[in-house]
């Protein structure tokens, strides 16, 4: 069992947990992920590592309550435990001295961007971070991102905080004003990452994206997380989660991400109607 030593609610239905997992913390690196399972009946939830503390033996995860399992995870409290906490999984981010690196974070994507931005800055890069959310209420970790960046640019879709616009608007303005960075990294919802890639293709800027696909085992055995990159089949769990965004087949990824939407909705309906999956549910 893995104990939740700290719980914070960062925004509506967005939580930050510190999990006591010394063996995972000992080897965790920026860009990697873990798979958490709440109990024996729980599904495996892949979450990118948001931070780690080797001395305390903890891993920080941040997640939004989106489906049945993440809602169930969100109901746990400080002192509770989860059954499984597997990791670190995946290939760590490639950190080097590139020059100017632009980190683009959409929504909850701010959390996995943070440790990568911090390491990029420590490696001597000029790190320009762009973070965006639908509204002010969903902005979190702004101070942490400031500390991990040379410059932080914030935007909201509705204009309720700092400025109105999408992260792609800010990215394009930055490129036009400051010139091409050596690297762009984008983490967030698939449509947002696709939009970032469409912008950087115009300027021929190398762009990495971090994919959070449907997974089962997380070790490359099941093939559930397959993605087409450069016309070849790759597996997010062992080949990723980061890939060259210009090579990713986003249309296929978007289609695969919607594969179990009806089943997810059915699970949420059963929970809300109180039948617990037994008997007849007319939700």
Angle at 24 between CA 237 and CA 110, to 5 degrees: 65
Residue 25 has pLDDT above 50, yes or no: yes
Model pLDDT for residues 169-224, shown as the tens digit of each residue: 999 999 999 999 999 999 999 999 999 999 999 999 999 999 987 777 777 788 88
Band of pLDDT at residue 282, cut at 50, 70 and 90: very low
pLDDT tops 50 at residue 42: yes
Count of other CB atoms within 10 angstroms of residue 126 = 17
Please state the domain extents for the chain.
Answer: 2-89, 100-257
Place of tokens 């997010």: 236
* Burial category of 81 from C-beta neighbours within 10 Å (exposed 0-12, middle 13-18, buried 19 and up): middle
* Residue numbering of the annotated binding site for [2Fe-2S] cluster: 222, 225, 237
Bind-site residues? 222, 225, 237
Q: What residues have CB less than 8 Å from 172, skipping those under 6 apart?
A: 199
* Of 114, 90, 97, 95, the residue nearest 28 (C-alpha): 90
What is the mean predicted confidence (pLDDT) over 102-109? Answer: 96
User: Considering only 166-180, 221-235, 241-255, 260-274, which range has the smallest mean pLDDT?
Assistant: 260-274
- Which residues have CB under 8 Å from 136's CB, separation 6+? 156, 160, 161
Q: What CATH number does the domain located at 100-257 have?
A: 3.40.50.80
Please give the average per-residue pLDDT across 142-163, as a whole number. 97
Using alpha carbons, list the distances in angstroms from residue 184 to 83, 99, 193, 201, 283. Answer: 37, 11, 11, 11, 44
Name the least confident of 41-50, 220-229, 247-256: 220-229
Instruction: Using alpha carbons only, give the angle 39, 210, 82 rounded to the nearest 5 degrees.
Output: 15
pTM for this entry:
0.90
Q: Under a CB-based contact definition with an 8 Å cutoff, are residues 240 and 210 in contact? A: yes
What dotted CATH number matches 2-89?
2.40.30.10
Nearest to 84 by CA among 50, 120, 43, 53: 43
């Amino acid at each position: 069992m893995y104990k939740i030593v700290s719980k914070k609610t960062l925004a509506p239905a967005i939580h930050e947990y510190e999990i006591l997992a010394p063996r995972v913390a000992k080897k965790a690196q920026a860009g990697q992920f873990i798979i958490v399972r709440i109990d024996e009946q729980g599904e495996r939830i892949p979450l990118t590592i948001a931070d780690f503390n080797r001395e305390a033996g903890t891993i920080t995860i941040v997640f939004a309550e989106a489906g049945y399992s993440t809602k169930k995870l969100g109901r746990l409290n400080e002192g509770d435990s989860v059954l499984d906490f597997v990791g670190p999984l995946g290939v760590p981010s490639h950190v080097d001295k590139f020059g100017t690196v632009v980190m683009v974070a959409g929504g909850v994507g701010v959390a996995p961007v943070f440790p990568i931005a911090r390491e990029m800055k420590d490696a001597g890069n000029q790190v320009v971070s762009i973070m965006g959310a639908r509204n002010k209420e969903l902005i979190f970790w702004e101070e942490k991102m400031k500390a991990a960046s040379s410059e932080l640019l914030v935007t909201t879709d509705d204009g309720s905080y700092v400025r109105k616009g999408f992260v792609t608007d800010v990215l394009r303005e930055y490129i036009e004003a400051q010139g091409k960075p050596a690297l762009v990294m984008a983490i967030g919802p698939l449509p947002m990452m696709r939009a970032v890639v469409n912008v950087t293709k115009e300027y021929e800027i190398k762009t990495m994206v971090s994919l959070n696909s449907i997974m089962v085992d997380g070790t490359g055995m099941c093939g559930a997380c397959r993605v087409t990159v450069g016309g070849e089949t790759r597996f997010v769990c062992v080949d990723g989660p980061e890939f060259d965004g210009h090579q990713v087949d986003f249309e296929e990824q978007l289609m695969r991400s919607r594969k179990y939407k009806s089943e997810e909705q059915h699970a949420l309906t059963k929970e809300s109607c109180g039948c617990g999956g037994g008997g007849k549910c007319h939700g």
